[in-house]
Amino acid sequence: MHGWPCRRLSPYRWGGGARRPRVRPPVTAPLPQDADPSQTYCPEAGAAPGKPKADFRNYTEGTLLDRVYNTYLLMHTHQTVDFVRRKHAEYGACSHRRLSIMEALDLLDDLVDESDPDVDFPNSYHAYQTAEGIRKAHPDKDWFHLVGLLHDLGKILALSGEPQWAVVGDTFPVGCKVQKSVVFSDSTFHDNPDTFNPLYNTEYGMYQPHCGLENVLMSWGHDEYMYQVMRFNNFTLPLEAFYMIRFHSFYPWHTCGAYMHLCSPEDRRMLPWQVRPILLPVPRGQVLPRAAVLVMGAGPHTEPGL
C-alpha cells in the first residue's frame, strides 16, 4: 500500500498544476434539479451506528438547526459578486502565512463547522475519517486518499478571522439566478444586494450558455480557497482532484443537477466524481489515527504559504 502522497508535494504557498492521466469516474446519477435539499442526505456520510442515511443533511429539524440556519442566512446575505472578487484579490497571492499540511490539519482541531447539521466535532477528525474511508474503498488511488485529507483544509480561513459564513457551507454561483436547490434559498436571500440587480436575476446572469464552471464565480469559502492554493502552488494531482476540491460543497450541482446550463462538456465528464467521499464512521471511544501513522514515515514537510 502506498503511503500518503503529501510527501511528494513541492514547496508551495497557500492561495495550477501538472496532472496525471485521466482515470475512469465512478457511476452516479444526480437528483432532479428541483429536488429539495432539506430532504436529501449527505452522500459521503456512511450510516453511523443508530443513524440512518436519510437523517443526514436534515435542514428541517435537529439540535443544531438554529446555528446552521443563521450561518446560511449570513452567507446568503453577504455573498455577492463584489464580495467574492474582493476575496480573490485578498487571498490570490497566497502571501498570508506558511504552514505544512500537517500543521494546517492540526489547526482544524479548533474548528467546528457551524453550517453542518450532522457534525459537532473538530474538522481535523473529519479529514482523517474521510481519508481513511477513501483509502479503504480505493486502496489503489493514493491521490484520492490525499484529496480526502485535503478537502476541507481551506476551513483554516475561519481561524484567521474570517466569519464562518465566508468559509463553510454549501456553495453556489454568484452573478446569476439562485436555483431552488440551494439550501434555504426561499428564505435567506432577501437582503442580498445582488437580488436587486436585474442581470444577476436571470438564468445565465453575467455568464454565457455552457461557458464552463472554470469561468463561473463561485461563492467564496474553503473550497474555492483550497482550490486556489492548489493551483498557485502547482499541486501535481489529476484534474479530478481539482474538481473534487473546488466543487465538493456544490450540492445544487452534483446532487440536484442544477446549473447544468452553465456546464461545459468537461464539467459533465467530471460530474460523477463530485459525489463526496464516503465518511468513515468512528465508533464512540475509538482513537482516530494520528498524522504520523497516516503519513507512514514520510519525511520532513515543506511549509506552504497561506
138 labelled ligand-binding = no
96 labelled ligand-binding = no
Q: How many CB atoms lie within 10 A of CB 217?
A: 17
249 labelled ligand-binding = yes
CA distance 160 to 222: 12
3 labelled ligand-binding = no
Q: Read out DSSP for 84-130?
A: HHHHHHHHTT--S-B--HHHHHHHGGG---TT-SS--S-HHHHHHHH
Angle between helices 142-150 and 123-137 (to 10 degrees): 160
145 labelled ligand-binding = no
Name beta bridge partners: 218. 173
Max distance between CA atoms of the chain, in angstroms, equals: 56
210 labelled ligand-binding = no
> 155 near 305, Cβ under 8 Å?
no
155 labelled ligand-binding = yes
- Which alpha helices (H) appear in the chain, and where do they start and end? 65-78, 81-91, 101-107, 123-137, 142-150, 222-232, 239-247, 251-254, 265-270, 291-295
CA distance 167 to 169: 7
169 labelled ligand-binding = yes
CA distance 62 to 47: 17
34 labelled ligand-binding = no
> 281 near 46, Cβ under 8 Å?
yes
Q: CA nearest 215: which of 182, 264, 256?
A: 264
Binding site for Fe cation: residue ranges?
Answer: 126, 151-152, 222, 248
Binding site: residue ranges?
Answer: 57, 113-115, 126, 151-152, 155, 169-170, 222, 248-249
Binding site for substrate: residue ranges?
Answer: 57, 113-115, 155, 169-170, 248-249
